[in-house]
Structure 1
């Protein structure tokens, strides 16, 4: 009598490996979310005692930023950080767009590959290297016209150089996602190459370019080491590009000694406020980031051309 072959009820090896892989990925994702939650809880928990003494409005109504005297007006640093971010975007965005257009449509294959590799390599350079370059090159040049050289302008130039790789890489992805039919149709209608790139391709990829700008702004407004090294670290509302300023992101580092002298409470509210700004910036980038993926899978129809 031949016994029937009983098939194993265990899943096939491929299915088992897939289950183990996705289970591990899920655990890692939950671990990352838990770490973020703990950071948020720690910042808010440490900030609440000081906030409860005067409320959030004191960060904009106190006489100035003197942690030793329990005065925490962060308005000058917030304004200076916004000026820095806007200035860096104004410098970096046109350069990044030009680099992306050249590497995607104009340059020969070998040169385009070399340019892309250099841009990606510059994104991996530590920020302290940019800071040292700014101190040794940019600040002395500015000092020739307007001492002391460490100023808002120096920060704008160095931070703009830092965010160019971020904006360029994402802009290249957005431009590559524009359907070829757009370019071919423009060529058949007799539109010049430059007009096609600027008025059709760039407009079709505008959502991805905006996403790149948002992520570049997020890096600029959160930069710490560079602004401490080249901006002068003087807390004041700048009235000129040549004035030294203290930035919002560097407040927790530059004033750490004062924080200890006031019971280690002053950087916690600053961290809590930074957390709010980061959440707003992250929400904006998260809302616009799908446009980059969208450009890879579906045509982006220009509107209003």
Structure 2
């Protein structure tokens, strides 16, 4: 990097946006967080400022983008998860408003949109979110550690009911797949719960976030007026992890060249490294891409520490 950049981050408080802000500041860039109520200050040292703006105010956001002198813009927007029934509508409207604000502004620099894994293609040309029994069978294939992560994430978002649902899902799957001495006593309940879970996890409200992110991708495909790129995180995206600085980029197409992202993951901290590298280098303009990296390192670190403390 030859100079410090001024970068706007839409949605700086979320799990993706906050990691992007941290990474930008660590590299000496200037950051402006834009959201309805952005933080006024940032715990990490560096040049940070916040500008409040409701993304439904297209004219207001357009003016901020026109007047801000930004070298790059990163959208980490995601709709609130408080009401699953409204997630899809709020997500599509939010992404659409941001697109209109960008195109109506005078800003024409790099614009990176963070979407969802559901947009990634298998090699058979089917997108993940259009796969049969999405998302139940894909949850069923997740390792225990990722279900643990997802339940913790729901509790962090105040979604205690859904967090409890995920923990029960993990137990019911284990009861079926790894039976113990007394598992047969609870098998009827486990089977009943998994049948019910399938209805829940394939319901349009439950997968609203994934589908609104896919809609966001279709909004940008074919647009030439600005230097956008669209990042679909891998299916096992995790936060509160470790920054290793290691990642691989996979450019997506209908031939499934980024299918690797469907079965793998990355920590938000490393995904932020990939995003800021793209901010600085602009190699993926008009591309749909994902990135993968090492996961599970935090758990391994804790296991090694526990062993050391126990004297084993």
The structure, 1 or 2, with the larger RCO (C-alpha pairs under 8 Å, 6+ apart) is: 1
Question: What TM-score does the superposition give when structure 2 sets the normalisation length?
Answer: 0.25
Whichever structure has more strand as a proportion of its residues is 2
Structure with the greater alpha carbon radius of gyration = 1
Question: What TM-score does the superposition give when structure 1 sets the normalisation length?
Answer: 0.26
